[in-house]
């Protein structure tokens, strides 16, 4: 059995690939119709490439025909585009498509159609992508003639959102046109076909001077064959906007060459001369997009979106509705959903009714574990991520840093409920009604703002909005020097407190937002460090360490930078990216440095508690430090979350569940906390409740690998081995490369009687452990499942010598159950301090 994913060979009786754990499909019956190398079209009912059953032809593009197919491997309908031989069989073209598709696949956004793969079958190359049910914008324009300004802006803003995500990943479309913008049945816009996208940071595969794109929508620089950037997409969107509201394009001609000449040299006619309903502001915006000099256009999709939003605010509500499609037939081009995304639209719709109601229905009327409040707290505010309006979009870390500082400061106020960063930042880059935010985050008010850096000047706008009626309770604009950033943050926090009439203990004039440093360069480096730290990947953490260290080079007394270093090394140790005895001593040193400078730093006490829990095994001291952190900042969801784990590891399960429940209430959209609700229930041996919570967590985030990993673990304990393997495969597909995933699979094999399969994986991990760190405690649990107890205890002794943080799970984790009756196990528990 050959694995379609990694191409490795497996025994014929295998269900899952021994190397990558992908499910193996059995050979297809001999009568299945296949695709010949010379065929350029498919017939309905045929099977292509051994897995795609053709439903119908959808249309034809520049590269070839597009089909709606049923992917028998994942059981879903997708779109399949055949590449015409003259477009794709050339080696150079294939290299371009292959490399640029890799870039396009990185884009994950609600307004972008997901690209899947470039494949080949018997000499015929093809691209697979998401299938969206709807019609393209070209069809809509033909049907209605022209759209109202409000409808056109609503579509353009969604396109801006999708482009912003692509440009953030350094990908530019280069062929944006109405045919590549799909509108689903609800009028939502989706950008299609990033097949000829290129990297802004990488060297283009396309040769110099190559003419790529559609002449009617091409920017002047594309006409000349010059390098393009995101402003070329802005130009194309300007043409589309012009066409939507004017009913025709700004430039047409008898040939591609004549149109291209006009794009380069002619000035477009003012669209108001064609359609007097177009406002002066909208016409000015469209013509700015169509500037010949790209430096005169909008510098980013976000900047264009900001101007469109201002124009949209002045339009009647009825004008903003995009026409929904009626009478949809199977001939309409677009796309259903990838398997992992099937639950997203349903979950999103239900969330609009209210997060509490969703969970209540999901468990048959019982009160859900992860939500406690039945109505929004009277004094509550969600601090949304501030928007970076800088021309070059280089101040995102500064905008995020202002939001973080306000969340941290306001979380310290005992009578004010402030949802955590993860929940607040889940709305980043999205246009969401404040009432929906209020329902999801259980708050009465929302703070939103923007940041713009112009040379040495800093412009910050902020407004506090009532969720109930959408009215502004307070707003202010600040135009200050960069050095005043700390004062501005404190002014905003103070305005929120005064507006909500909250009493503050202590000195009335004391700063709410601590500056931490007077050096702007050090502060900027710290914010960049936190920006990468929040991404949590191994390389991101290493990059965050570089920025924190640079900040300390400039200001050695910067406590927050020391706390940042400690947090980075704690995650590197907890995720087994570094050995515990390398990561945690460094983390402790940096934590103590931070506390010596600022003994009121809640984050540092929480870090010190985690070090005591995971490395020093000083569980009493860890509890003391967690309580101190919570006393300083009672609204810190992460402190409650981490404290819950300590209680769970000590066997105080009811207290642990109560604490993680509070963490969920403080940060209700944090997928990591929701996943760990299920994991803490698993440690408490409440398997059915654990499965229930983990399945509910998937409704909120169906792409979170930890949820699948925990599901695999719980299914293993209830002997549902097929379900366990399927969840393990999904955790591998959506997660980073990590030894914990094959270890989990080895334990499933061992528990289900497939001992040889388990040993193969463990032998591979032994080899891997010589090159990179693999937790000996986790290896021990796998060998325990195989019944090899002596080897398991040898590994546990090694884990003890290396201070492996996974040993803290020894008391409660079911994976160690096979060893509990052995006197050596009790002795080890005592050595660690988990038993008297």
Identify the pLDDT of residue 4.
61
The listed range with the strongest mean pLDDT (12-21, 167-176, 351-360) is: 167-176
Which residues does the annotation mark as catalytic?
175
Range name among 87-101, 424-438, 523-537 with the lowest pLDDT average: 87-101
CA angle 774, 779, 780 (to 5 degrees): 140
For residue 753, pLDDT over 60 is answered with yes
The listed range with the strongest mean pLDDT (86-95, 455-464, 712-721) is: 712-721
Q: Choose among 298, 334, 363, 342: nearest CA to 130.
A: 334
Range name among 314-328, 393-407, 479-493 with the lowest pLDDT average: 314-328
Q: Choose among 334, 328, 337, 244: nearest CA to 289.
A: 244
Range name among 63-77, 180-194, 322-336, 396-410 with the lowest pLDDT average: 322-336
For residue 235, pLDDT over 70 is answered with yes
Main-chain dihedrals φ then ψ at residue 198, nearest 5 degrees:
-140, 160
Range name among 65-69, 209-213, 243-247, 412-416 with the lowest pLDDT average: 209-213
Evaluate whether 828 touches 789 at the Cβ level (below 8 Å).
no
Q: What is the mean pLDDT of the chain?
A: 80
Buried b / exposed e along 513-550 (16+ C-beta atoms within 10 A): bbbbbebeebbbbbbbbbbbbeeeeeebbebbbebbeb
Q: Where are the alpha helices (DSSP H) in 315-417?
A: 343-353, 355-362, 396-411
For residue 310, pLDDT over 60 is answered with yes
Evaluate whether 308 touches 45 at the Cβ level (below 8 Å).
no
Using pLDDT thresholds of 50, 70 and 90, give the confidence band for residue 34.
Answer: very low
Using pLDDT thresholds of 50, 70 and 90, give the confidence band for residue 353.
Answer: very low
pLDDT tens column, 158-179: 999 999 988 888 888 888 999 9
pLDDT tens column, 604-616: 999 999 999 999 9
Evaluate whether 662 touches 678 at the Cβ level (below 8 Å).
no
Range name among 124-133, 205-214, 470-479 with the lowest pLDDT average: 205-214
Percentage of residues in the chain having pLDDT higher than 70? 81
Percentage of residues in the chain having pLDDT higher than 90? 37
For residue 38, pLDDT over 80 is answered with no
DSSP 546-595: HHHHHHHHH-TT-HHHHHHHHHHHHHHHHTTSS-HHHHHHHHHHHHHHHH
Secondary structure (3-state) at 507: coil
Distance of alpha carbon 277 from the chain centroid? 40
Secondary structure (3-state) at 388: strand
Between 74 and 204, residue with greater pLDDT: 74
For residue 258, pLDDT over 90 is answered with no
Identify the pLDDT of residue 351.
36
For residue 442, pLDDT over 70 is answered with yes
Identify the pLDDT of residue 15.
52
Distance of alpha carbon 64 from the chain centroid? 32
Identify the pLDDT of residue 426.
80
Name every residue whose Cβ is closer than 8 Å to that of residue 492 and which is 6 or more positions away in sequence.
406, 447, 449, 460, 462, 476
Q: What are the counts of helices (DSSP H) followed by strands (DSSP E) for the chain?
A: 32, 16
Identify the pLDDT of residue 758.
92
The listed range with the strongest mean pLDDT (195-204, 246-255, 471-480) is: 246-255
If 0-12 CB within 10 Å is exposed, 13-18 middle and 19+ buried, where does residue 732 land?
A: buried
């Amino acid at each position: 059995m050959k694995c379609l994913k990694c191409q490795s060979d497996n025994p014929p009786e295998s269900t899952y690939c021994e190397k990558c754990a992908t499910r193996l499909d059995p050979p297809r019956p001999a009568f299945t119709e296949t695709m010949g190398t010379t065929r350029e079209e498919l017939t309905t009912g045929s099977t292509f490439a051994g897995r795609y059953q053709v439903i119908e032809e959808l249309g034809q593009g520049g590269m070839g025909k597009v089909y709606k197919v049923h992917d028998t491997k994942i059981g879903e309908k997708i779109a399949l585009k055949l590449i015409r031989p003259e477009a794709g069989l050339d080696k150079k073209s294939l290299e371009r498509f292959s490399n640029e598709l890799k870039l396009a696949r990185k884009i994950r956004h609600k307004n972008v159609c997901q690209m899947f793969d470039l494949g080949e079958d018997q000499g015929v190359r093809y691209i697979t992508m998401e299938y969206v049910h709807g019609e393209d914008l070209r069809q809509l324009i033909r049907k209605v003639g022209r759209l109202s300004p409000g409808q056109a802006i609503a579509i353009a803003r969604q396109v801006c959102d999708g482009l912003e995500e692509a440009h953030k990943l350094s990908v530019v479309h280069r062929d944006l046109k109405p045919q590549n913008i799909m509108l689903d049945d609800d009028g939502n816009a989706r950008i299609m076909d990033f097949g000829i996208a290129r990297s802004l940071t990488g060297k283009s595969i396309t040769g110099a001077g190559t003419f790529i794109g559609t002449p009617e929508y091409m920017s002047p620089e594309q006409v000349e064959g010059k390098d393009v950037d995101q402003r070329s997409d802005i130009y194309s969107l300007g043409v589309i906007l012009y066409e939507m509201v004017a009913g025709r394009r700004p430039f047409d001609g008898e040939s591609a060459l004549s149109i291209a000449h006009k794009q380069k040299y002619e000035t477009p006619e003012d669209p108001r001369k064609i359609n007097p309903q177009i406002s002066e502001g909208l016409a000015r915006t469209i013509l700015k997009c169509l500037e010949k000099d790209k430096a005169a256009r909008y510098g980013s999709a976000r900047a264009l979106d900001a101007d469109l939003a201002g124009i949209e605010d002045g339009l009647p509500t009825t004008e903003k509705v995009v026409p929904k499609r009626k009478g949809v037939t199977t001939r309409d081009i677009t796309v259903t959903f990838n398997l992992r995304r099937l639950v997203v639209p349903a979950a999103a719709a239900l969330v609009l009714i209210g997060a509490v109601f969703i969970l209540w229905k999901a468990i048959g009327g019982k009160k859900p574990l992860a939500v406690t409040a039945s109505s929004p707290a009277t004094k509550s505010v969600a601090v949304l991520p501030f928007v970076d309006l800088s021309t070059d979009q280089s101040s995102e870390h500064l905008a995020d840093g202002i939001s973080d500082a306000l969340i941290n400061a306001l979380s310290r106020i005992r009578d004010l409920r402030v949802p955590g960063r993860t929940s607040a930042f889940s709305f980043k880059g999205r246009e969401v009604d404040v009432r929906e935010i209020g329902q999801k985050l259980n708050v009465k008010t929302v703070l939103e703002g923007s940041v713009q850096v112009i040379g040495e000047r800093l412009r910050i706008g902020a407004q506090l909005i009532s969720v109930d009626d959408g009215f502004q309770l307070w707003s202010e604009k600040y135009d200050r020097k960069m050095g005043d950033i700390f004062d501005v943050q404190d002014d905003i926090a103070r305005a929120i407190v005064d507006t909500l009439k909250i009493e503050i203990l202590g000195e009335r004039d004391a700063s709410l937002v601590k500056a931490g440093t007077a050096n702007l360069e050090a502060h900027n480096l710290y914010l960049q460090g936190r920006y990468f730290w929040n991404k949590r990947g191994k390389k991101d953490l290493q990059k965050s360490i570089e920025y924190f260290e640079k900040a300390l080079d400039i200001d050695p007394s910067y406590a927050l930078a020391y706390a940042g270093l400690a947090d980075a090394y704690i995650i590197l140790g907890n995720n087994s990216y570094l050995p515990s005895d390398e990561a945690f001593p460094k983390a402790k040193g940096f934590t103590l440095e931070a506390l010596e400078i600022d003994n009121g730093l809640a984050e540092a006490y929480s870090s010190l508690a985690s070090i005591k829990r995971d490395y020093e095994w000083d569980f009493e001291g860890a509890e003391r430090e967690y309580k101190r952190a919570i006393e300083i900042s009672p609204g810190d969801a992460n402190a409650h979350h981490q404290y819950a784990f300590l209680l769970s590891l000590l066997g105080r399960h009811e207290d642990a569940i109560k604490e993680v429940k509070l963490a969920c209430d403080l940060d209700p959209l944090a997928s990591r906390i929701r996943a760990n609700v299920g994991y803490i229930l698993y440690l408490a041996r409440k398997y059915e409740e654990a499965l229930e919570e983990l399945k509910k967590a998937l409704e909120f985030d169906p792409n979170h690998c930890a949820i699948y990993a925990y599901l695999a673990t719980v299914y293993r304990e209830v002997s549902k081995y097929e379900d366990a393997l399927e969840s393990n495969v999904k955790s591998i597909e959506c997660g980073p490369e990590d030894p914990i995933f094959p270890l989990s699979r080895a334990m499933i094999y061992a528990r289900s009687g497939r001992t040889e399969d388990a040993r193969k994986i463990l032998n591979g991990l032994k080899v891997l452990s010589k090159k990179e760190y693999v937790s000996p405690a986790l290896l021990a649990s796998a060998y325990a499942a195989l019944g090899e107890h002596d080897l398991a205890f040898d590994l546990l002794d090694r884990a003890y010598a290396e201070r492996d943080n996974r040993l803290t799970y020894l008391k409660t984790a079911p994976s160690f159950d096979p060893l509990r009756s052995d006197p050596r196990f009790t002795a080890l528990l005592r050595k660690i301090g988990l038993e008297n």
